[in-house]
Amino acid sequence: MNPIDDVNEPAPAQPAGEVQSLADAREVARRLRARMAAAVLGRDEFIELTLVALLADGHVLLEDYPGSGKTTLAKALGNSILDDRPEDQIADFRRVQFTPDLLPSDVTGSTVFDAATASFHFRPGPIFAHVVLADEINRTSPKVQSAMLEAMAEKQVTVDNVTHRLDALFFVIATQNPLDLAGTYPLPAAQLDRFLFKLRMEHIDRDSELQVLASWRERRDVDRADLPRVTRSQILAARRVIDEQVNVAPEVQECLVDVVRGMRADERVVQGASTRSLVLMLPALQARAAFHGRDWVGAEDIEALAPRVFGHRVELAPGVGSIHEVLKDVAREPFERLARTTLARR
């Protein structure tokens, strides 16, 4: 059972536009999850992490083999968001297929001459959408990658010295193929740092795969209109509510900082995680806590998110197997300290 569902509190029947409490925010996440889970089977964990990233205002890099459901996942997310401001011309979902000959303007948009008005005006590129799927992002040139980078970090694009703001709900799901590396431009560390999570998707389990085969026809034909969608402003409100109402205790922050510092001091780590990663991680921890029906961040949130957040930011010494073993060692003391403080009288 997914943790989002497992706390038996009555769900509000319908968040009537306004998202004011954590329960409302959770309902938003629950609806999104339901729609995505209906589209992609056996990916519950990734769906949850994607939603955490969405509500924490981060971006996700998916690393997987072709045909594992990345696009479906991203599309389902885009389709689940109801645009309650159609006048701004921003699409729900756009997909950009990155190729070596792509130009930055193909992504950001360009200024074109309008013969009717005899003036230049900006035509937004595919990046002007709520959810953007950046497929095979490592196949394009660094020039395009860095244009993406500005967009992701600053939520704005600059074309011909004019800065255009992106939508507040700008969420990038980038993918890359971990095997087929010939002729690619691997993302530099600075760019990887912009992604909140790098998720490595494994093949789904047997039952889910069987279920996919059994139900793919219906899922292709049936529009999931019966499942409720959420609006753009509801997601934005949920972000705000989570940020305001989920408490991150000083002890938890200490624990987080100690883990990162311990990792930097460990001899198995060549390059430690940045301070920015800590800043990015806080909202993610809050979002995860909210998903699990809590208004406080606990050690389990760190436990669950740390490998995802630090995995692609930390460079390990040659011969060290995985970030897991490093984390297990460096986290022992901070976790022990955190656990001990909770029993203290106050």
Partner 1 sequence: MSLFAPPAPAKPDRRTRWRALPWATLGRAALQGAAVALLLWPLTRASGLLAAFAGTAAGVALGQRAAGSRLRTPALIALAGLLALVARGAASIATGPSALPVALGPARALALSEAILWGGVAFAVFGALRACAVRLPALAVLEAAVVAAGFGAVVAGHRDGMVHRPLALSNWAWARGIDPVSVLLVLGGIAGLLSAALLLHEPRRRRAPLHLAGFLLLAAALVLVVRVTGTPRAQAGSELGLQGQPKQGWEPQQRTGNPGGGEGARGERDDLPFEAEDPQSGANAPVAVVLLHGDYSPPSGAFYLRQTAFSQFNGRRLVKATRDDVDTDLLGGFPARRESLRTAPPLSDQRAALRTTVGLLADHPVPFALDSPAAVWPAQNPDPRRFRLAYGVESRVLTLPYDRMLRRAARAPGWSEAQWRHYTDSPTDPRYRALADEIVASRLGPDWVHDPLAQAIAIKMWLDKEGIYSRRSRHDDDAPDPVASFLFGDKTGYCVHFAHAATFLLRSRGVATRVAAGYALSEADRGSGSTLLVRGGDAHAWPEVYVEGVGWVVVDITPERSLDPPRESPDAGLQRMLGQSLRETTGELQEAGDGAPPFTWEDLRALLLRGLLVLLAAAYGFKAWRALAPRLRRRQAWRLAYREALDRLAEVGLRRATGESREGFARRVAPLAPEFDALTRGHLAVALGSRQHPPAAALLGASDAVRAALRARVPRWRRWLGWLDPTSTLFAR
> Which parts of this chain interact with partner 1 (CB under 8 A)?
3, 45, 48, 245, 247, 249, 251-252, 294-300, 303-304, 306-307, 319-322, 324-325, 327-328, 331-333, 335-336, 338-343, 345
DSSP letter assigned to residue 247: B
Distance, CA of 342 to chain centre: 31
Q: 47 or 152: whose CB is closer to partner 1?
A: 47
Q: 315 or 336: whose CB is closer to partner 1?
A: 336
Q: 14 or 322: whose CB is closer to partner 1?
A: 322
**Residue with tokens 């756009």, as numbered in its chain:** 94
Minimum distance, C-beta of residue 238 to partner 1, in the bound complex (Å):
18
Of 239, 310, 325, 236, which is closest to residue 276 (Cα–Cα)?
310
Minimum distance, C-beta of residue 141 to partner 1, in the bound complex (Å):
34
Of 1, 2, 27, which is closest to residue 290 (Cα–Cα)?
27
Q: Which residues are CB-contacts of 41 (< 8 A; sequence separation ≥ 6)?
A: 204, 208, 211, 212, 215
Work out the number of other CB atoms within 10 angstroms of the CB of residue 191.
20
Q: How many CA atoms lie within 13 A of 47 on its CB side?
A: 28
Q: 247 or 271: whose CB is closer to partner 1?
A: 247
Minimum distance, C-beta of residue 324 to partner 1, in the bound complex (Å):
3
Minimum distance, C-beta of residue 115 to partner 1, in the bound complex (Å):
56
Token representation of residue 71:
């696009």
Of 157, 238, 148, which is closest to residue 195 (Cα–Cα)?
148
Q: 164 or 200: whose CB is closer to partner 1?
A: 200
DSSP letter string, 296-315: B--HHHHHHHHHHHHTTTPE
Minimum distance, C-beta of residue 193 to partner 1, in the bound complex (Å):
22
Q: 54 or 252: whose CB is closer to partner 1?
A: 252
Q: 216 or 296: whose CB is closer to partner 1?
A: 296
Minimum distance, C-beta of residue 325 to partner 1, in the bound complex (Å):
4
Minimum distance, C-beta of residue 67 to partner 1, in the bound complex (Å):
23
Cα–Cα distance, 147 to 172 (Å, whole number): 13
Q: 96 or 338: whose CB is closer to partner 1?
A: 338
Minimum distance, C-beta of residue 36 to partner 1, in the bound complex (Å):
17
Q: Which residues are CB-contacts of 156 (< 8 A; sequence separation ≥ 6)?
A: 150, 163, 164, 165, 166
Q: Which helix (H) or strand (E) holds 164?
A: strand 162-165
